[in-house]
Structure 1
Amino acid sequence: MKNMTIIYWSATGNTEAMALALEEGAKKAGVSVKLLEVGNASKEEVLKADAVALGCPSMGAEELEEEEMEPFIASLEVENLKGKPMLLFGSYDWGDGQWMREWTERMTKLGVLLMEDGLIIQNTPDEDGLNKCREIGEKFASI
């Protein structure tokens, strides 16, 4: 892999911290990384990247953030993403990860190659959680 794009949405900074740790791990593996908030991202950046990590916390009744991330994900559903290496990640406060299971299923139907079943961390990632993100970022960049 030569380049990876990480696109995320974060209200409290928890998912952003995860994105930064993933970036750190991927860079350690020698990969060029583009880190973008979803409002500054385009689907072309997803299509051009060798691999993509998408991050969004659980919102409302365990769903994706609906103003920016949901429309962005919906825009990807019309593209050919078959075989695209992808990682989904995000933080949550309540619930049991239902939003991530649904998001994973949704992206799997598009034919992406998902790494993990979705990386989730409850609330603010502690150092162990950030280390897990770094390790997964490095592992993901090495595929």
Structure 2
Amino acid sequence: MSKIIMIFASMSGNTEEMADFIAGGITESGVEIEKIDIMDSPEASLLKDYDGILLGAYTWGDGDLPDDFLDFYDEMDDVDLTGKKAAVFGSGDSYYTHYCAAVDILNEKLRDRGADIVLEGLKVELTPEDEDIKKCQEFGKEFIQRSFVTSI
């Protein structure tokens, strides 16, 4: 069985809500997921132990990763993610010039480390509303479909 990990950063709770809904879509597909808040200080090296990787972060200021994600982000430089399936999600505020830039930054890092990005990054404006909740659940299901389900 495939091992999936989700690591996320959330300040206001918006990205954490997204993480919960995405994880719900994944478990609905019959797959277990380990979900870790970046505040619990995971080490990037643990990504090597998983087949699927989901990263989630809100965007800080005008297009930056949150400070609590920076150490993990830097540690990823030492981790080979070749063959790992990955996707990124996050919340942001379109008031700023670089809407949800943290999603793009994390996508690029995963790609640079060799991961196979299986879904376009999911971006949600502030708090997930009804339609966003459905998108998050579908994101989780589609991650499993594109990563681990083979058609016959």
Give the residue type in structure 1 aligned to 2:91.
Answer: S
2:54 corresponds to: 53
1:88 corresponds to: 88
What is the 5 A alignment of 1:58-137? Answer: 58-66=59-67, 68-93=68-93, 94-95=95-96, 96-137=99-140
Q: 1:44 to 1:104 in 2, by over 3 A?
A: closer
Report the Cα distance in structure 2 between the residues aligned to 1:36 and 1:61, rounded to whole angstroms.
25
Q: CA deviation at 1:82?
A: 1.5
Aligned length: 142
Give the residue type in structure 1 aligned to 2:84.
Answer: K
Cα RMSD of the aligned pairs, angstroms, is 1.5
Give the residue type in structure 1 aligned to 2:58.
Answer: P
Q: Percent identity, please.
A: 25
After TM superposition, the score normalised by the length of structure 2 is 0.86
Partner SS state of residue 12, structure 1: coil
Rg comparison, structure with higher value:
2
Q: 1:3 to 1:111 in 2, by over 3 A?
A: same
Q: Return 5+ residue gaps in structure 2 as ranges.
A: 148-152
After TM superposition, the score normalised by the length of structure 1 is 0.90
Q: 1:14 to 1:3 in 2, by over 3 A?
A: same
- Between 1 and 2, higher relative CO (CA 8 Å, sep ≥ 6) is seen in 1
Q: CA deviation at 1:105?
A: 2.3
Contact 1:108/1:114 (8 A) holds in 2: yes
Report the Cα distance in structure 2 between the residues aligned to 1:101 and 1:35, rounded to whole angstroms.
21
4+ long deviations beyond 6 Å: none
Report the Cα distance in structure 2 between the residues aligned to 1:80 and 1:20, rounded to whole angstroms.
27
Report the Cα distance in structure 1 between the residues aligned to 2:101 and 2:27, rounded to whole angstroms.
30
